[in-house]
């Protein structure tokens, strides 16, 4: 996956994977570096979603980000490193979300609201994110480094979601017979599947139509995976 000889490198530019070099004594502004890193990751995400990992080059990412190869390599040595940074950003973002679910008063209703918001309009931006997600999963199947990073991500997300399910059982919004870990894995698989469906669903006259169908399917699945205790009415 790494561009060992990126054709977009100009004279004197090192190939991807070579160590990043910083000028001695050059001051570093952490806030500016963080902003630039985020901008590069966003540009790479657009390239990967549009062209795929294998077709998108480091040169493409440079042009999308409006930077030079030399500057890009100050931040990331290869496309692998960009994807690994994306995985870490995703891990932090999703874990923060799951922590808010951990103490939710009504976990099933919270999950249903999240899915409804995520797929409500099924616009072009959401489809781009969905394509990126599919590309990441496909690359994890080919690249051991990416696969290892996403296995760690999956372990963390499964544990956090299982903890939220146990809390929901303790407060009486999810049936006590539900196995937390297995259900967490099923819920994560459900979400990945919905993302995949968003990529392949054809848009109807109403662009929101595919999203609404996915929301209805998710509600049906959530009611089966997270049943309320017997005798408890849906909220």
CATH number for the domain spanning 26: value is: 1.10.10.60
**pLDDT, mean over the chain:** 82
- Give the residue numbers spanning the domain of 104: 79-225
Q: Is residue 188 part of a domain?
A: yes
Interatomic CA distance for residues 186 and 146, integer angstroms: 22
Q: 99 and 180: one domain?
A: yes
Q: 47 and 88: one domain?
A: no
Q: Is residue 182 part of a domain?
A: yes
How many domains would you assign to the chain? Answer: 2
Q: Is residue 233 part of a domain?
A: no
Q: What is the pLDDT of residue 198?
A: 79
Q: Are 175 and 108 in contact (CB under 8 A)?
A: no
Q: Is residue 180 part of a domain?
A: yes
- On the question of pLDDT at 132 being above 90, the answer is no
Q: Which of 75, 56, 52 is nearest to 64 (CA)?
A: 56
DSSP string of 35-64, one letter each residue: HHHHHHHHHHHHHHHHH-TTT--HHHHHHH
CB atoms within 10 A of CB 161: 25
Q: 34 and 121: one domain?
A: no
- On the question of pLDDT at 97 being above 50, the answer is yes
Q: 51 and 91: one domain?
A: no
Pick the more confident residue, 205 or 171.
Answer: 171
Per residue in 148-173, pLDDT (tens digit) is 988 998 999 999 999 999 999 999 99
Q: Is residue 69 part of a domain?
A: yes
Q: Is residue 108 part of a domain?
A: yes
Q: 93 and 61: one domain?
A: no
* Final residue belonging to a domain, choices 23, 54, 77: 77
Q: Which of 195, 1, 161, 170 is nearest to 80 (CA)?
A: 1
Pick the more confident residue, 153 or 201.
Answer: 153
Cα 120 to Cα 127, 146, 177, 228: the distances in Å are 12, 30, 31, 25
pLDDT band at 120 (very low <50, low <70, confident <90, very high): confident
Q: 38 and 57: one domain?
A: yes
Q: Are 1 and 78 in contact (CB under 8 A)?
A: yes
Residue in the block written with tokens 């995400």: 45
Q: 86 and 187: one domain?
A: yes
* Final residue belonging to a domain, choices 50, 77, 104: 77
Q: 87 and 132: one domain?
A: yes
Q: Is residue 2 part of a domain?
A: no
* Final residue belonging to a domain, choices 60, 77, 94: 77
Interatomic CA distance for residues 128 and 119, integer angstroms: 13
Q: Is residue 7 part of a domain?
A: no
Q: 126 and 195: one domain?
A: yes
Interatomic CA distance for residues 128 and 42, integer angstroms: 12
Residue 200 belongs to domain with CATH number = 1.10.357.10
Interatomic CA distance for residues 198 and 78, integer angstroms: 29
Per residue in 7-56, pLDDT (tens digit) is 343 434 444 333 355 544 455 678 888 999 999 999 999 999 888 888 99
Q: 103 and 198: one domain?
A: yes
Q: 127 and 89: one domain?
A: yes
Residue in the block written with tokens 């990992």: 53
Q: What is the pLDDT of residue 119?
A: 80
Q: 39 and 113: one domain?
A: no
Reading the block at residue 149, the tokens are 């990073």
- The reported pTM is 0.75
């Amino acid at each position: 996956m790494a561009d060992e000889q990126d054709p977009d490198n100009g004279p004197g530019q090192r190939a991807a994977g070579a160590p990043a070099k910083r000028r001695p004594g050059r001051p570093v502004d952490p806030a500016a570096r963080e902003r630039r890193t985020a901008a590069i990751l966003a540009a790479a995400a657009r390239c990967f979603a549009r062209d795929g990992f294998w077709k998108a080059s480091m040169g493409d990412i440079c042009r999308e980000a409006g930077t030079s190869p030399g500057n890009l390599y100050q931040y990331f040595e290869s496309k692998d490193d960009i994807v690994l940074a994306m995985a870490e950003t995703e891990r932090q973002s999703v874990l923060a979300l799951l922590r808010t679910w951990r103490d939710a008063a009504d976990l099933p209703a919270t999950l249903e609201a999240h899915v409804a918001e995520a797929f409500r309009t099924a616009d072009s931006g959401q489809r781009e994110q969905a394509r990126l997600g599919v590309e990441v999963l496909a690359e994890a199947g080919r690249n051991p480094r990416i696969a290892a990073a996403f296995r760690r991500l999956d372990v963390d997300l499964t544990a956090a979601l299982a903890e939220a399910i146990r809390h929901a059982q303790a407060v009486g919004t999810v049936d006590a017979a539900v196995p937390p870990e297995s259900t967490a894995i099923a819920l994560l698989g459900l979400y990945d599947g919905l993302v995949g469906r968003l990529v392949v669903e054809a848009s109807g006259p109403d662009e929101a139509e595919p999203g609404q169908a996915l929301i209805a399917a998710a509600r049906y699945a959530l009611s089966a995976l997270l049943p309320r205790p017997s005798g408890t009415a849906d909220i």
